[in-house]
Amino acid sequence: MAQNDAEAGCAIVTRLRAHPDLLTVAAIAVIVDVSASLIHEGLGHGGACLLMGGTPRLLTSMQFQGDQQMLSGFAVRVISASGSIANAAAGMMAIMLLRRNRKQPRTGWFFWWLFATINLLQATGYLLYSGVGNIGDWAKVVAPLRPVWLWRVLLTVVGAGAYWAVTRWAMGRLGQHLSASPPGRVAEAYRYTLVAYVTGGLLSVAAGLFDPGGLVVVLISGVAASLGGTSALAWGPQLLHDPRLGMPTDMQLRVTRDVRWIVVSVLVAIAFVLVLGPGIPRR
């Protein structure tokens, strides 16, 4: 009887320890989402604009504008494509860093996992989004190509396939460091992914409300790119019902309360909404 009570007590402690600190998870999500936005708009579009000889005019949380009047059509398409390319490159870099990690996965591991996941989801999701809706960066890239419907189908197929592959990779990688039983690790995964998804969506929409582009930009970039582009965080954990995906290891993920991440995330969120929301114009 005493042995059974002890085992039950250990099981309860194990389950409690498996619960991440949700405030720290949200803090990491803030920093990752802001980073992904800056990589897309600033490093991707902005960097390509400078390389192509254009003049940057405005950078906000949701859009980049540059003077492209003197640029060729090819240069303009390169600038349009470079946002997603920059996100993809950043995501692949994070994957390489994760592969080199041999220590117990903790807060830093979760940051790089979420960084890779969100950047890759946004990069691949943009292909699908532009192919289906015929709006956004990649719609501009294929606009002069003929027949345009064929290129839109290609964007849709490649985007959907790549998005699915990224989702399976992300959930499998996370699943390796969660509970052993499929039902348990699905619920545990949602404690990480759903908090990150909601946090990123709220942050993006909040910053978008200050965007000079108005409601159209909020709907196209904020809702579609953030809530739509990272939607795998909302449904992806269901894949972990498959015991073959992400076989659990003995190194379980631990994200505990970390005031440093929380403080930095508050400062980053304020700057993102109040400074980058309305935008930084070139003087």
Structure tokens that stand for 56 in this block: 């940057």
The predicted pLDDT at position 246 comes to 83
Q: What is the 3-state secondary structure (H, E, C) of 243-275?
A: CCCCCCCCCCCCCCCCHHHHHHHHHHHHHHHHH
Which DSSP letter does residue 243 get? Answer: T
Using the Cα atoms of residue 134, residue 140, residue 141 and residue 146 in order, give the sign of their dihedral: positive
Cα–Cα distance list, 259 to 30, 31, 41, 114, 256 (Å): 14, 14, 29, 19, 10
The stretches in the chain having pLDDT less than 50 are 1-17
Residue with tokens 């903790």: 106
SS3 state at 58: strand
Query: Residue 7 class from Cβ within 10 Å (0-12 exposed, 13-18 middle, 19+ buried)?
Result: exposed
Query: Rounded to an integer, what distance in angstroms lies between the CA atom of residue 76 and that of residue 46?
Result: 12
Structure tokens that stand for 44 in this block: 């991707």
Residue with tokens 């990649």: 138
The predicted pLDDT at position 102 comes to 77
Question: What distance, in Å, lies between the first and last C-alpha atoms of the chain?
Answer: 76
pLDDT tens per residue across span 71-93: 999 999 999 999 999 999 999 99
Phi-psi region of 136 (alpha: psi -120 to 50; beta: other; left: phi over 0): left
Report the predicted TM-score, pTM, of the whole model to 2 decimal places: 0.90
The predicted pLDDT at position 8 comes to 41
Q: What is the DSSP string of 26-41?
A: HHHHHHHHHHHHHIII
Cβ atoms 123, 83 nearer than 8 A: no
Structure tokens that stand for 132 in this block: 């289906």
Q: In the chain, where are the structural domains located? A: 21-281
Query: Rounded to an integer, what distance in angstroms lies between the CA atom of residue 213 and that of residue 165?
Result: 33
Query: Residue 217 class from Cβ within 10 Å (0-12 exposed, 13-18 middle, 19+ buried)?
Result: middle
Cβ atoms 119, 125 nearer than 8 A: no
Query: Rounded to an integer, what distance in angstroms lies between the CA atom of residue 26 and that of residue 31?
Result: 9
pLDDT tens per residue across span 106-152: 999 999 999 999 999 999 999 998 899 888 889 999 999 999 999 99
Partners of 281 in beta bridges? 58
Cβ atoms 95, 118 nearer than 8 A: no
- Residues 6+ positions from 160 with CB-CB distance below 8 Å: 128
Query: Rounded to an integer, what distance in angstroms lies between the CA atom of residue 241 and that of residue 171?
Result: 11
Query: Rounded to an integer, what distance in angstroms lies between the CA atom of residue 222 and that of residue 62?
Result: 7
